[in-house]
Amino acid sequence: MRLRRVEHVSAEECRSVDGLMRAYARAGVLGAGALGEACNILEEMVRERARVFLGIAGCIVAGGMRRVVTELIRMGAVGAVVTNGASVVHDVVEALGGEHYAGSFCAADAELHERGIGRMGNVYTKMESFTAFEDYMQGLLAGMSEQQRSNLSVRELLSEIGASLKDRHSFLRAAHEKGVPVFSPAITDSMVGLQLFFFSQNNTLVLNAVKDMREMAQLVIEAERVGALFLGGGVPKHYILGACLLRGGIDYGIQITLDREDAGSLSGAKLEEGVSWGKTARHARVVSVTGDVTMVLPLLVASLRERMKEWREGTG
């Protein structure tokens, strides 16, 4: 066994976000080492033109990460997005002029309910924002032809939403403009699903999830290399890894999570576990970063932006 000396982090060399991330990677130990390795893997998968699947779980869009996600898409670093329904809802709410607010984990929830405020941890939102969301969704669906609604994939629905939004900071709009498909396999487990149900009571509406699977399979099979950046776990993580069974697993993988593997949960499982299922290739370069996505993601994206600038300037 060959031992590698720990290179200690110096404040002098950490004059930029990427400088700090490179120092973390050189140290190579504990949580800092994992984060530094994640930056290196993200750079490699983008530089090697792997098709990068971005998995979005939790309430990170409402929790201040919306612009960072949008920026990552606009940078050309993402080939497809798989998101939970909540992130779709909160992206649209913001695009329609709604807002999210900083609150407290120690809240008087009954009082919040009386004031028409919903809580996600220490992130608050006004229930009145969903009135505009409901009107928007009903209008969007009504504006689609009956033929289109009779065999509508989730990806097609989200593309329609992205095309209709005017807010440049919307990740759905950015994905539409960049030609990046957005999937949401559990979309009905959200306010979107509720609006789809309401609309379907008096109108033709058939949501065809198999069409999404067909498109996901094509994206995976046609890719020379596949990478994945998992912001949390849940359904988005499993949907991406499940599709990658068709090609022998992902070639690159980064997971940011606070969940633990002890309980056998998918969200806490290390990406190496996927090798046993064929969801992670044996040769894959993967890392799991134990941390809060809202703390880690901006560092990853800022580091990648600096490196991409160096590529363009020929200095990196």
Catalytic sites, residue numbers: 279
Pairwise CA distance, residues 100 & 122, whole Å: 10
Closest listed residue to residue 181, CA positions, set 50, 48, 78, 255? 78
Q: Is the dihedral of CA 29, 31, 33, 37 positive or negative?
A: positive
Pairwise CA distance, residues 107 & 236, whole Å: 30
Helix axes 66-74, 293-313, angle to 10 degrees: 30
Closest listed residue to residue 280, CA positions, set 222, 235, 313, 240? 240
The single residue listed with the structure tokens 């809802």 is: 89
Q: Give the number of residues written for the chain.
A: 316
Across the strands, what pairs with 254? 229, 287
7, 27 in Cβ contact below 8 A?
Answer: yes
